[in-house]
Chains A and B, each alone.
Chain A
């Protein structure tokens, strides 16, 4: 599990003019990237971006409705096999990934949960998300846009963005590849048969 380091608590101020430019270059995104918490603070000033819901989505313990949108969009960008499914199958499979992710976040200690919440809240606020990730609405984002966002964060010279990019990628991957339905893709033949059969006979 990765989370966000402390330097984000003391960020440089953001120039609001910057936020109005569409299609920011890499350098601009990185500059804004050091100011996660300030960015959250000014989010309310930018208008149109309501407070994210404060309680978990139905049936979940940690993830909120906005987080569900985020991970539903990002999961196929991390796991190509999900992108190849038709929408009904994909929704079902992504649902299993979400439940694994949710259980993991719910089991984290307070400090880790707080860092994860900071990251997810930041990515949940539309204008900031666009500036930091180049992604508009999660639901409408293309795979290319989503993967470009992950690549940019992980390639950044800012440890904060590396941390955020790593945690999203690693947790989605692990939450998918522990599912038995994924085993043909990893070549894992499943529990060692001679033992599995013996202990379950």
Chain B
């Protein structure tokens, strides 16, 4: 059964989709709204603004890759085409791997589909500590409901795969809280290939949901276009200036593209949006731009299970635990959410971080290997201020992120929780993803060893797939780059509608938080622009 390619059909029916690699001369586009970035924020904004009758131009640095190119279900192709820096993006010192999308649809094209509402504790913390208004639990409820309806977000109704069932079994055995993860899917085939681009268009990424609606309503999509800067004068953006990239998706072709619009929406995510504003030298009177970048630092624990669990197959994330997330409310010692990552041969072999016979042995055990991950909830206390984004000489973004003792304490407790859960679920052996750890054969052995692990960069393997902050929202211009509606405090016709506006991390996978907040703020923006 062939899966119809939405874009082949759409382009044949007249959608305005421009591959900037094909442009041969300088090009100027006019629009009501230029949106820079086509991920969770840009996609939702494009749909809402074009349905409101506004002329939208959506600009994306990555390429347009659609279901026809996902049919190989191949890991190497996915990393090359769909991830920032071919999946090798990292913090400036290389200590934290950054898994972030880079194609039409942004990270929504490659994420594992987990779609949580922003936890109430987080929303309350923003209101009480960051002078955020209009995004309380009751304010947001209808927007979450609307995006759940729009994107098919619902708790996964199929039993978890064996990999996720390890977390559920461990939590059940220990009497810990766990819950079924809501996923943004319609007609999901339960294959497990969300991270390589959904081959059946079931995952409701921006690629298959909001962007097609925007295109049907007259929006223009320009991909393989790197927006270099926003030109500004007298407190207003006058143009977005970009360079077309060649078909390789990274080398500039030399063709300049200029977009003139009444309003500009920055939606490149928490690394690329601050970098764009920094390159543009926009006013930043309180030195807030690119600061407080929150990443949910991730640590991982590996387990050898007695039976084959085929951790690459089936919905990649379906069970999570908040047992250790809010033990002292929003603040106090670092909280963390426990989840399960899929294990695929390429990513899995890198996480093993071994060589020679040890690597061969553990790779051969992959069908029986489970991993748990802990998302550490950063940005809620003064000891966890996150990282910062700055620019390399060529203007590309660089992320610095240091881990304080507060964060390392959370990471060690997370190693302990994960090992305890894995043994409770029947694991034969458990090994934290840490250079000084080996496989431990019992919970008591693991507990002793983990207590002694040196908590240092490069010894502990660290990851992030959740980029937040750097353009925080606050009603107080001394504390935020934008106000609670995403409007830039100094530039009248610039809004930021993406995860970079979060004042803290979310405490759960952030895509649904971006969807709902953007839906709310883009709806208000549409009303304002139509006036």
Q: Is B157 an interface position by the 8 A CB rule?
A: no
Q: Is B158 an interface position by the 8 A CB rule?
A: no
CA distance A143 to B88 in the complex (A): 27
When the two chains form the complex, which single residue of B2, B74, B250, B435 contacts A191, counting CB atoms closer than 8 Å?
B74
Which chain A residues border B392 with CB–CB below 8 Å? 109-111
Report the minimum CB–CB distance from A89 to chain B (whole Å): 17
Q: Is A43 an interface position by the 8 A CB rule?
A: no
Q: Is the CB of A174 within 8 A of B200?
A: no
Q: Is the CB of A199 within 8 A of B3?
A: yes
Report the minimum CB–CB distance from B21 to chain A (whole Å): 16
Determine chain B's interface SS by DSSP, over half rule.
loop
Q: Is the CB of B193 within 8 A of A195?
A: yes
Q: Is B350 an interface position by the 8 A CB rule?
A: yes
CA distance A1 to B461 in the complex (A): 11
Q: Is the CB of B75 within 8 A of A173?
A: no
Within residues 132 to 155 of chain A, which ones have a CB less than 8 A from any CB in chain B?
Answer: 143, 147, 150, 154
Within residues 340 to 372 of chain B, which ones have a CB less than 8 A from any CB in chain A?
Answer: 344-350, 352-357, 359-360, 363-367
* Residue in A166, A175, A189 with the greatest tally of chain B CB atoms within 10 Å: A166
Which chain A residues border B95 with CB–CB below 8 Å? 2, 163
Q: How large is the interface on A (under 10, 10 to 19, 20 to 34, 35 or more residues)?
A: 35 or more
Report the minimum CB–CB distance from B480 to chain A (whole Å): 27
CA distance A108 to B88 in the complex (A): 7
Within residues 76 to 107 of chain A, which ones have a CB less than 8 A from any CB in chain B?
Answer: 77-81, 100, 103-107
Within residues 158 to 188 of chain A, which ones have a CB less than 8 A from any CB in chain B?
Answer: 159, 162-163, 166-167, 169-179, 182-183, 185-188
Within residues 52 to 110 of chain B, which ones have a CB less than 8 A from any CB in chain A?
Answer: 67, 71-76, 79-80, 85-90, 92-95, 97
Q: Is the CB of A185 within 8 A of B360?
A: yes
Q: Is the CB of B75 within 8 A of A80?
A: no
When the two chains form the complex, which single residue of B3, B86, B357 contacts A103, counting CB atoms closer than 8 Å?
B86
By beta carbon, the residue of chain B nearest A107 is B86
From known contacts A100-B76, A183-B345, infer whether A109 and B94 are also in contact, taking CB-CB under 8 Å.
Answer: no
When the two chains form the complex, which single residue of B2, B76, B250, B359 contacts A107, counting CB atoms closer than 8 Å?
B250
CA distance A79 to B357 in the complex (A): 8
Q: Is B456 an interface position by the 8 A CB rule?
A: yes
Q: Is the CB of B363 within 8 A of A186?
A: yes
Looking at the complex, which of B172-180, B255-263, B393-401, B441-449 is the stretch in contact with chain A? Answer: B393-401
Q: Is A13 an interface position by the 8 A CB rule?
A: no
Q: Is the CB of B353 within 8 A of A77?
A: no
Q: Is B150 an interface position by the 8 A CB rule?
A: no
Q: Is A44 an interface position by the 8 A CB rule?
A: no
Which chain B residues border A200 with CB–CB below 8 Å? 71
From known contacts A112-B85, A195-B200, infer whether A173 and B349 are also in contact, taking CB-CB under 8 Å.
Answer: yes
From known contacts A3-B93, A81-B360, A163-B95, infer whether A186 and B435 are also in contact, taking CB-CB under 8 Å.
Answer: no
When the two chains form the complex, which single residue of A104, A150, A174 contacts B347, counting CB atoms closer than 8 Å?
A174
From known contacts A111-B392, A199-B3, infer whether A192 and B313 are also in contact, taking CB-CB under 8 Å.
Answer: yes
Q: Mark A97-133, 1 if CB is under 8 A from B, else 0.
A: 0001001111111111001000000000000000000
Q: Is B192 an interface position by the 8 A CB rule?
A: yes
Q: Is B191 an interface position by the 8 A CB rule?
A: yes
Q: Is the CB of B250 within 8 A of A169?
A: no
Q: Is the CB of A107 within 8 A of B85?
A: yes
Q: Is B459 an interface position by the 8 A CB rule?
A: yes
Report the minimum CB–CB distance from A160 to chain B (whole Å): 9
From known contacts A78-B356, A103-B80, A195-B199, infer whether A109 and B193 are also in contact, taking CB-CB under 8 Å.
Answer: no
Report the minimum CB–CB distance from B112 to chain A (whole Å): 16
CA distance A152 to B189 in the complex (A): 46
| Closest 4 pairs between A and B when the two form their complex, measured CB to CB | A2-B94, A107-B86, A178-B346, A3-B94
Interface residues of chain B, those whose CB is within 8 Å of chain A, are 1-3, 67, 71-76, 79-80, 85-90, 92-95, 97, 189, 191-193, 199-200, 250, 310, 312-313, 344-350, 352-357, 359-360, 363-367, 392-394, 396-398, 435, 456-459
With A77-B355, A104-B86 already in contact, 15 other A-B pairs whose C-beta atoms are closer than 8 Å: A1-B94, A3-B94, A4-B94, A78-B355, A80-B357, A80-B360, A107-B80, A108-B89, A111-B396, A147-B356, A162-B458, A177-B349, A178-B346, A185-B363, A196-B73
